[in-house]
Amino acid sequence: MNIKSIGSKIKGNPKMVEGTVYSMLIICSISHFLNDMIQSIIPSIYPIVKDKFDFSFAQIGIITLVFQMTSSILQPFTGLYADKHPRPYALSLGMCFTLVGLLLLAFAENYFLILLAVSVVGLGSSVFHPTASRVAQMASGGKKSLAQSIFQVGGNGGSAVGPLLAAIIILPFGQHAISWFALAALLAAIIMVRLGVWYKARLAYVVNHPQKQPLLNTHISKRVKYWALFILIMLVFSKYFYTACITSYFTFFLMDKFGVSVQTSQLCLFVFLAAFAIGTVAGGMLGDKFGRKYVIWFSILGAAPFAIAMPFVNFTWTIIFTFLSGLIIASAFSSIVVYATDLMPDKVGLIAGIFFGLMFGLGGLGSAFFGWLADKTSIEFIFQVSAFLPLLGIIAGFLPNTQKKSVEETDENAK
């Protein structure tokens, strides 16, 4: 793609590619909602295919493994490719993979086709997250944490809505009803064409209109950068292992300890998910205003008192403490991703791919681990143990401080 020749043809208002472009951030968020909604229905179909094809639990586990391998582990590689070879319409192409995978899954009649289908759906997700995160930062106008949080809250909403829609559409009508979700993939692909047009113009504008741009990593050695990335990975581990425990087993905890109904426990889980969505946006705004390092530190370590106390209080305080834990801990992720990309601004896609991949992968591992531990001990015990995970937030104090130094903006990826 000859970016300079494209840039010579760009006319009109420069504000379309400068400053904080909220219209593009909203499109990123809506696309993220649709993508993660689709991804979250995959586990919801396990009871259907298990009964229909008489699969063993081991075979179900392999389906999950294949899906996680393509949707999580491939993300850093697709992100690295996006850094070196930006393709404005890769987002729409990735969603087309998802669409094909859904249709294949809806009509798969054997184990091999099901594995192929979930791998194609996962491939679509691995293309989406790093590239869309990169576009969101380009549209941020310097408000990177806010932009990342707007992008992220769409994904949180999609992950929450997906299982609900699966219960309404897929479970009553069977495997073929999965094909209805292909319409959501088609809608997302169409929306992302508009995003691709803007992305193409933005890449061209950067090359043809170099500007003074703050760079945050000129004083930090490569060794310190890698140490900082290790700390951030440990913080993501603590955040998503704890979150996996809540999202997977909180309903069982409430029913076991307080004897509430399934419906009541689901409403209480929704309280946590709502707090998580609010915290995601709030954390982005606070990160831009007060500094990402301090938001990261507070957002994980600050949840610890509420998480530790939660298993030992009555029902009302359990809900209050869970809400506060979700609100605080959710504010970390956007600042973590932006802090990491500030350390390596020429590898935004790679870094986003690593952290989004970790988010999905660690969430799956955490759910499996705490499920195993609950079988060995009790559902209440896993909440007492997982409550100490936010204490790992103390290591955020070892993150290096970033300093701004003006340099000539160049975009090596766009050349």
pLDDT digits (tens, 9 = 90+) for 27-69: 999 999 999 889 888 877 777 887 888 887 667 767 877 887 7
Is residue 279's pLDDT more than 80?
yes
Residue 348, pLDDT > 70, answer yes
pLDDT of 296 reads 84
The arrangement of secondary structure in 3-209, i.e. its CATH architecture, is Up-down Bundle (1.20)
* pLDDT tens-digit readout, 283-309: 777 777 777 788 888 887 788 999 999
Predicted pLDDT of residue 415: 43
Residue at 5: amino acid letter:
S
Distance, in Å, from the CA atom of 126 to the CA atom of 71, rounded to the nearest integer, reads 5
Q: What is the CA radius of gyration of the chain?
A: 21
Average pLDDT, the chain: 80
Please report which confidence band the pLDDT of residue 5 belongs to, taking 50, 70 and 90 as the band edges. Answer: very low
405 pLDDT band, cuts 50/70/90, is very low
CATH superfamily label, 222-406: MFS general substrate transporter like domains (1.20.1250.20)
| Burial bucket for residue 99 (CB in 10 Å: 0-12, 13-18, 19+) | buried
Q: How many CB atoms lie within 10 A of CB 133?
A: 30
Question: Within 13 A of 161's CA, how many CA atoms are on the CB side?
Answer: 17
- Span(s) in the chain for CATH 1.20.1250.20: 3-209, 222-406
Closest C-alpha among 130, 126, 199 to residue 411: 199
219 pLDDT tier (thresholds 50, 70, 90): low
Among 56-60, 222-226, 333-337, 383-387, top mean pLDDT goes to: 383-387
Q: Is the pLDDT of residue 363 over 80?
A: no
Q: Measured between alpha carbons, how far is 382 from 331 in angstroms, rounded to an integer?
A: 24
Tokens matching residue 224: 């310190």
The number of CA neighbours under 13 Å toward the Cβ of 276 is 24
- Span 327-341, mean pLDDT? 83
Look at strands 405-408 and 212-215 and give their pairing. antiparallel
What are the φ and ψ backbone dihedral angles of 245, each rounded to 5 degrees?
-65, -45
Q: What percent of the chain has pLDDT over 70?
A: 87
Q: How far apart are CA 330 and CA 243, in angstroms?
A: 9
**What pLDDT, on a 0 to 100 scale, did the predictor assign at position 206?**
65
pTM: 0.70
